[in-house]
Chain A
């Protein structure tokens, strides 16, 4: 949600007004999207870091359990939603169309549009970048070490606080990029779009296995497919019911996820 508003304000600062058909093509479009993505990611990342400081670190300091962290997360999420509702209003805010939505090619009977391709490629790119980061860099190694065992990691000289902040920052950056893809695809944003998306993202992560990056992507794809096939069979009103039923089933029968948990293994 914050990422989407970041992208929206980026377009406003660049002088593009909503509703006006400010269609771009070629390099101009790429630069525009990159600029909007950067603003979205910065906004989202900053929020994540601040939240970590305010809502999670005090709990960690006092040794509070995971449940407290979860409740704190819900509280922080509601706070952000309402803050934006007061600032932006409770109606949907339109996002200008930045590119002509053309059909690029067909896969059997389905048409693939350029914005749909952008979303798919964007998601894959984010996964690859994050994967590389966690697997090859020193900071990434620190993240994996803390995930495996915080105490031992401290003994090995890893700064836990810094690693936690970094993890939140990474999450925020990815969310910001996802926010840009969301507004380019759906051309709307609002104070409460993050709520349902957050729950579905959680479902996708659990489906793929907590800590497993490829699993999360696969989980997201699987969830989307199941939702839409279900909607085709039973009607669009059942989409969310199907999503949550899938979450329930996965938690009941395979809580470690389809591809298996991989907090400790270097499998990312």
Chain B
């Protein structure tokens, strides 16, 4: 027994030592990487590459990669490579991963974070470290209100998407009894609350169902009993698809309306083509074929990745290109790129990218998509009232 004590004491010291060393390691180099592009720079992608809603992250990452490929072909002097950070779309993984990105001094800017929940968790860290981010898809309006100097959003936010979805439900679907369901995430609840506020007394049923719920029967039964003719779901395609499937299985024929997080072919795959028929989805993103040089983008994307571009591929492409403009202008460090982004005026393929004082862009058109014959088809922009 006595012989064990010194060993136990030493064994207890080791974790304490390890923690101390880890803390020292983190604060090491505090300046942004180097003054030049000597070893090449990295453009980070921060978002879900695995997990339930990975398709959204992969679309953006591919858009960024395409931009980098095209840049490398015309600018061999400074090598810019992609540094992917897979957050799985989770706010609990985001802060640790953000710290990893910050510690990698070669990462000079980030396209992302892709989701609003992880943005809320990671952006304060990026702000403190001065690492500029351009998000092509995080649409929660509150993100821009935090005074983060590094925050830039290359897409319209939910203050335009929410009212557009609500207007569609009211004016096109003429639904007077609406159910609004959200998935409790920063993004889903955010946009669902905006829709609730816009529709006011038309909302006769409300529910909040956490992500990864398997059984939506209580929600569907409640909606049925309230007699809703339209259901707005604030959330992503994995859960939305399951909700939609169970709605149809339980005989609820209400029109399913959802947001850009659910705008993915996997929604139709999860729910089944028959159940998904007629579902309506809003997005501040234009159909890929309709953007400037859309056909060329689709061809290039397909050649590079053997698959069609998805939601936000074009916005990811634009976000990457905006940052590449800074690198082209000789800004190879984080501060330099952030300053450049303050005054940039770049015509991307989706929109004119010029950030205001809060990091938002001016383009606010919201587009509507419908599921027809098992495919997502764009049916045009929503008339803003």
Contact = CB atoms under 8 A, between A and B. Distances in A.
Contacts of B238: 92
Contacts of A186: 214-215
Interface stretch (A55-63, A154-162, A227-235): A227-235
Contacts of B222: 232
B270 A101 contact: no
Contacts of A90: 50-51
Contacts of A232: 218, 221-222
Interface size class of chain A, counting residues whose CB lies under 8 Å from the partner chain? 20 to 34
B208 interface: yes
Interface in A1-53: 19, 21
B51 A91 contact: yes
B210 interface: yes
Interface string A83-103: 000000011101001000101
A140 B269 CA distance: 47
B356 interface: no
A236 B218 contact: yes
B128 interface: no
The dominant DSSP class at the A interface is mixed
A239 interface: yes
Given A91-B51, A94-B270, A231 B208 contact: no
B160 to A, nearest CB: 28
Nearest to A182: B214
A113 interface: yes
B249 A113 contact: yes
What are the 7 closest A-B residue pairs judged by CB atoms, nearest first?
Answer: A231-B218, A236-B209, A237-B208, A228-B218, A236-B219, A186-B214, A235-B208
A193 interface: yes
B217 A228 contact: yes
A92 B209 contact: no
Contacts of B292: none
Contact of A236 (B51, B212, B213): B213
A236 B216 contact: yes
A92 B207 contact: no
Given A92-B238, A228-B218, 19 more contacts: A21-B272, A91-B50, A91-B51, A91-B54, A92-B212, A94-B270, A101-B249, A111-B250, A186-B215, A231-B218, A232-B221, A236-B207, A236-B210, A236-B213, A236-B216, A236-B218, A237-B184, A237-B209, A239-B218
A239 B221 CA distance: 15
Contacts of B245: 187
B362 to A, nearest CB: 37
A77 interface: no
Interface string B204-234: 0011111011111111011001000000000
A101 B238 CA distance: 21
Interface residues of B, number: 30
8 contacts: A19-B269, A91-B54, A101-B249, A188-B214, A236-B216, A236-B219, A237-B184, A239-B218
A232 B217 CA distance: 10
Contacts of B206: 235
Contact of B242 (A91, A101, A188, A228): A188
A110 B224 CA distance: 11
Nearest to B206: A235
B238 to A, nearest CB: 7
B193 interface: no
Given A19-B269, A103-B251, A188-B242, A235 B207 contact: yes
Nearest to A196: B214
Contacts of B91: none
A232 B214 CA distance: 16
A246 to B, nearest CB: 16
Contacts of B300: none
B52 interface: yes
Interface in B175-226: 184, 206-210, 212-219, 221-222, 225
A103 B51 CA distance: 34
A231 to B, nearest CB: 4
B25 to A, nearest CB: 28
Contacts of A92: 52, 212, 238
A235 B216 CA distance: 11
Contacts of A91: 50-52, 54
A113 B250 CA distance: 8
Contacts of B52: 91-92
Contacts of A109: 225
A235 B51 CA distance: 26
Interface in A210-268: 228, 231-232, 235-237, 239
A109 B210 CA distance: 27
A175 B52 CA distance: 26
Nearest to B242: A188
Contacts of B269: 19
B225 to A, nearest CB: 8
Contacts of A97: 272
Interface in A177-212: 186-188, 193
A207 B52 CA distance: 34
Contacts of B250: 111
